[in-house]
Chain A
Amino acid sequence: MITRLRETCRRLLDQNKVQVVIGYGQRRPGAAAHPVFITRPEDVGQLTWGGNCFANLTVYLKRKEVKALGKAALVVKGCDERALVVLEKEAQVERGDLYVIGMACDGVHAPKCSACVVRTPRFADELIGEAGSAPGAASPAAPDLLDVLMAKPAAERWAFWKSEFSRCVKCYACRQVCPLCYCERCIVDKNRPVTIDTSASLKGNFAWHITRAFHLAARCVGCGECTRACPAGIPVGLLNRSLADTAKGNFGYAAGMDPAAEPVFGAWSSSDKEDFIR
């Protein structure tokens, strides 16, 4: 697959079909893969693919420094591609301005992989590889932390989050790695008025994480990057997943799965329930 990936990218750059390839590279054997930006055909040897390619590279579509490089080819796994679907729906990317290289994936050894239903990207311009069989009942998954948490009484869940957020230092890694946190000026950076204390106090941390979860409600695609990025080991993605479950339960909507589905907060229908309005 790596050979085919490199050949594809060399061809795209040679023919100037794209000006940059956003893919995975690897500095040393055994190291984690990291994002690379290939602008010259002779550099495609830096591209790699494998079970260590955790990052969701769609996040780079929001970066002005990357946009300035020109038309991009983007390497995506199926889970990353879900973010692309949402970004397109929210008019953040012109699909025609992007060349999507989908990589069939056997998992990247993350908890999310055991329940993955998108091992093969569905909308790529070019699909590379054939995914192994989807995870079946044969592979016992570790108990899902969200299920464990939701089974606890509210007081225990509150204590859990107080303990977790006591470690938050407000580095905003969760926000910066998220492809869907693309606001030019985030609400926490606005000060007229201040709606979220910037301090890494319990108040400031709760306000931040709850607001972020709400702003991602029914938009988060569950790529898990926020949890991976948190230097304090806080499972911030659980808040997002909890709201994603709510969106699924109430609206039958899962972000990034069906490009034709209308976003929960982006559309209104006369048949929408109103019984909660009292």
Chain B
Amino acid sequence: MSDNLYKPDLMEVLQVERQTADVKSVRVRFQDAARARDFSFRVGQFGLFSAFGAGESTFNICSSSTWKDYLEFCFRRTGRVTEALWEIESGDTIGFRGPYGNGYPMEAWEGKDLIFIGGGIAMPPIRCAVWYALENRSDYGNITVVYGARTVRDLTFARELDEWSRHERVRVVQCVDPGGETPDWKGEVGLIPSVVERARISAANAVALVIGPPIMIKFTLPVLDRMGLREEDIYTSLENRMKCGVGKCGRCNAGPVYVCKEGPVFTMRQLRSIPNDF
């Protein structure tokens, strides 16, 4: 690891999986074995992934921190860098800088019930926390996952959702928007806030991680409030345009808070004091 803060590690691409029409997940490992051994991260942290020649992009590390053989990230094909990443295959080389950000307070959540609520491309940052909790099952209470997308074909990590529901004290509620269901769809139909309400999840001794588009969060919060969750027990992970990832380039702040360094994970109570700047 050089002292050049901006120079990434070279990573070998192990596997690329197509999640939806425009979403892929990628498993990578450090080319440098010593680096791989020394590396660790907290779930909820992110990295800057390079497609050399196109640039870097910020993605959550969506694998569990307990898995030592690879890192995984997931991206939607939208811009210059993700278009370049779309072309990569197993055996290719990309770059990685990280881990950055504060991560989820998994230790503070021990002994609690975990409620994960996510929409669309928000599954990856939830997935790492779910797997972490499943890998440390006895440390956590009931796990509930409410995950939805516009249509059945937009659900990411669909196979794993089924696998999770087979674990003890894990309940997975999948939903699609009205009109997004297929004839054989067995899950819920509706927008996330109403699906959460209908799900009648017990919130006693629970924390919630809610990730998704601002409008989804806005309408889900009152539901969680009615369930009895306090603002300091509801967490989210923010996104903002990033470049350096380390608080120097001046780009990602929302008011006084630098999302890359002091986030991206915040409680709703913390978000209340952040101005409308993200």
Contact = CB atoms under 8 A, between A and B. Distances in A.
Direct contact of A and B (CB under 8 A): yes
A192 B79 CA distance: 8
B204 to A, nearest CB: 50
Interface string A164-200: 0000000000000000000000000001100000000
Contacts, number: 5
Nearest to A191: B80
Interface string B63-90: 0000000000000000110010000000
Chain B contact residues: helix, strand, loop or mixed = helix
Nearest to A190: B80
Interface residues of B, number: 3
A192 B55 CA distance: 12
A189 to B, nearest CB: 12
A264 to B, nearest CB: 34
Interface string B96-127: 00000000000000000000000000000000
B81 to A, nearest CB: 9
A191 B83 CA distance: 12
Contacts of B83: 192
A192 B80 CA distance: 6
A175 B83 CA distance: 29
Interface string A188-217: 000110000000000000000000000000
A192 B83 CA distance: 10
Contacts of A191: 79-80
A192 B78 CA distance: 11
Contacts of B79: 191-192
Nearest to B84: A192
A259 B83 CA distance: 45
Interface string A126-142: 00000000000000000
B86 to A, nearest CB: 13
A236 B79 CA distance: 33
B187 to A, nearest CB: 37
A50 to B, nearest CB: 39
A126 B19 CA distance: 64
Nearest to A193: B80
A120 B79 CA distance: 50
A64 B74 CA distance: 36
B85 to A, nearest CB: 14
Nearest to B83: A192
B247 to A, nearest CB: 22
Nearest to A192: B80
Interface string B223-248: 00000000000000000000000000
B82 to A, nearest CB: 11
B57 to A, nearest CB: 12
Nearest to B81: A191
Contacts of B80: 191-192
B249 to A, nearest CB: 14
A240 B45 CA distance: 50
Interface string B133-177: 000000000000000000000000000000000000000000000
A31 B80 CA distance: 46
A191 B78 CA distance: 12
A19 to B, nearest CB: 27
Nearest to A194: B80
A9 to B, nearest CB: 35
A49 to B, nearest CB: 39
Contacts of A192: 79-80, 83
Nearest to B55: A191
A196 to B, nearest CB: 14
A118 B80 CA distance: 47
B11 to A, nearest CB: 23
A191 B79 CA distance: 9
Nearest to B54: A191
A23 B204 CA distance: 63
A198 to B, nearest CB: 12
A57 B150 CA distance: 47
Interface in A203-238: none
A191 B82 CA distance: 12
A128 B84 CA distance: 58
A199 to B, nearest CB: 13
A160 B157 CA distance: 59
A107 to B, nearest CB: 42
B142 to A, nearest CB: 46
A241 B123 CA distance: 56
Interface string A94-129: 000000000000000000000000000000000000
**5 shortest interchain CB distances as A-B pairs:** A191-B80, A192-B80, A192-B83, A192-B79, A191-B79
5 contacts: A191-B79, A191-B80, A192-B79, A192-B80, A192-B83
